[in-house]
Amino acid sequence: MIQTKAKSFVLANLPYEQNALAPFVSAETINYHYNKHHRTYVDKLNELVSGTEFEELELEELIVKTAGHADKAGIFNNAAQVWNHNFYWNSLSPKGGGKPTGELGRKIEADFGSYKNFLKQFVEAGMTDFGSGWAWLVEDQGVLKITKTSNAENPLSQGQGKALLTLDVWEHAYYLDYQNRRGDYLKTILDKLVNWNFAEMNMNICKSIDA
Ligand code: MN
């Protein structure tokens, strides 16, 4: 029997059951999105880094090291998509959605003018991200901002600050449930599923790093 090395990168568990976000994101969507798309990025990444200098790196390190290097695009794309999807699953919660309270709620009102403006900007970023990509809430030098990235790019690879939340706007994230209505998907996620506890936790992590 051939001894095989343990895989470098693993598919992280979903933080909830596959039907937990229904009816807003169906179990069928999660099944394809997590078990097929996300898993394929993990498998492909392991295949590409096997036996290379990249095999032992942490995922974030690997993303930063390969970003912007055309000859490493395959590794970068798969590594970033693994990270982005881990981040996306945690950006959603069956108990999420609506207007955030507490410190993050106050900061959103301060930095965007109002919660309504924040919603408008987040949906607009997702809507105007041409093709496949991601919309993000980031904290950049102490200020909350909305950004968007194409394909597998993320705030780590683009130097856009610290990611707090993300919404996947690849068609595979919403097509089964919303078909071409990307705006309805974005608005529904923000209204019903967005995980403010995760965003607040990420904001507090940057605070302790800055201190
Ligand atoms: Mn996706």
Quick one: 117 and 74 in the same domain? no
Give the distance (Å) from ligand 1 centre to CA of residue 12. 14
CATH number at residue 133: 3.55.40.20
Total structural domains within the chain:
2
pLDDT (mean) for 130-156 = 97
Helix (H) or strand (E) holding 168: strand 162-168
Give the distance (Å) from ligand 1 centre to CA of residue 152. 9
Range of the domain at 50: 25-90
Supply 208's token pair: 């302790």
Global confidence as pTM:
0.94
110-129 pLDDT, tens digit per residue, is 999 999 999 999 999 999 99
Quick one: 74 and 159 in the same domain? no
Closest listed residue to residue 88, CA positions, set 169, 28, 147 = 169
Give the distance (Å) from ligand 1 centre to CA of residue 1. 36
43-72 pLDDT, tens digit per residue, is 999 999 999 999 999 999 999 999 999 999
CATH number at residue 84: 1.10.287.990
Give the distance (Å) from ligand 1 centre to CA of residue 185. 13
Which residue in the block uniquely carries the two structure tokens 């032992």? 56
